[in-house]
Structure 1
Amino acid sequence: MNIACLAWGSLLWKPGPLKLASGWHPDGPHLPLEFARDSDDSAELAIVLCEGVPAVPTYWAYLDAPDLDAARAMLQAREKVREDRPEWIGSIPAVGGADESPAIAAWMKARRIDAVVWTAVPPKFAGVEGRMPTQEEAVAFLDGLTGTTREEAAFYLRRTPAHIDTRYRRAVEARLGWRPLREAHVTAMC
């Protein structure tokens, strides 16, 4: 069974316990992504799936996993998703009655991939799950950070590959000058 993982943020350069069986490929499905999650364990605004925003390119890699359950468990461990939030790990085939993404299903069918997993945590802002910040709130949040916290948030946004070009990213670049790092690259193999 060939199983792939989709990625668009720090998973690309910091896969942690995720066992990759290939490098990251830049031709994943186009998905609606934005920097819209006030991270639980750091100060950045993580890039997450968001309803109603323009779709942007994603990356994908084959996983070294014997089955879908193992792939989901690896991604759950890497993303520190709680056991009571299984819907925060998306997959096709879907589990637990979750809806399948038509864009992802069409993409994987075209590549003859048997199964795929991805991080499906929702936006979160000001401590409210499911709340997407406005563009102004996102920029103000990042602009209000100081010291090491600001540096880490800037690194996260700047390290995200340049072709993952979102509206909020362009606003942050214009206001804060946080442009993509020239040396930014994804982890080829881990």
Structure 2
Amino acid sequence: MNIVCIAWGSLLWKPGPLKLASGWHPGGPRLPLEFVRDSDDSAEVALVLCEGARPQATYWAYLATQDLDEARAMVGAREKITPARPDWIGSIPGKEGAEEDPRIAAWLRAKRIDAAVWTALPAKSNDTPSRVPSAREVIAILDAMPPEQRAEAERYVRCTPAHIDTAYRRAIEAALGWRAARDAHVTRTR
């Protein structure tokens, strides 16, 4: 079974415990993404799936495993997702009764790839899972961060590929001046 990971945010430049068998390739499925997750233990407002947001281009890479459970465990370890939240790790084939994303399923069929995993963390604001903050709230969160955290949050926004052009990103750029770094890169292996 060939398995890929689909990514759009920090996995691209910090894959961590993911064992990649290829570099990141452009041309992943177009998915609705937005900067709407006030992260639990990191200094960022993360880019996550957000229904209703404009679909954005994603990346994909082959994983160095043929076991779907191992692939899901890699994503879980990288994202610090507890075993109590298997729904925060997306996969096709689905696990534990999770719905399969039809956009990703269609992309997999077109690419003739057997399986995929991805981060499926929900939006979060004010410690409320699934609460989508407004762009104004996101800017206030970022602007109020202590200097070290703010620098990390800025790096996250700047390192996110420039073609991921969301409404909140444009608002962050206008308010804080955090434009995508021209040299923002995607980790490429082999």
Q: Structure 1 length as normaliser, TM-score?
A: 0.97
Match of 2:76? 76
Q: Structure 2 length as normaliser, TM-score?
A: 0.97
Query: Matches of residues 111-150 of structure 1 in structure 2 within 5 Å?
Result: 111-150=111-150
Between the two proteins, the alignment pairs up a number of residues equal to 190
Q: By how many angstroms is 1:67 displaced?
A: 1.2
| Residues 107-160 of structure 1, C-alpha deviations (whole Å, 9 max, x = no match) | 111000000000001011111111110111111211222311111100001100
Query: Matches of residues 46-85 of structure 1 in structure 2 within 5 Å?
Result: 46-85=46-85
Report the 3-state secondary structure (helix = DSSP H, G, I; strand = E; otherwise coil) of the residue aligned with 1:173: helix
Match of 1:27? 27
Q: Report runs of 4+ in structure 1 exceeding 4 Å deviation.
A: none
Q: Which runs of 5+ in 2 are unaligned?
A: none
The one-letter amino acid of 1:118's match is W
Q: CA RMSD for the aligned pairs?
A: 1.0
Provide the C-alpha distance between the structure 2 equivalents of 1:185 and 1:85, rounded to a whole number of angstroms: 30
Q: Which runs of 5+ in 1 are unaligned?
A: none
% identity of equivalent residues? 64
Provide the C-alpha distance between the structure 1 equivalents of 2:83 and 2:146, rounded to a whole number of angstroms: 33
The one-letter amino acid of 1:61's match is A
Provide the C-alpha distance between the structure 2 equivalents of 1:13 and 1:53, rounded to a whole number of angstroms: 23
The one-letter amino acid of 1:175's match is A
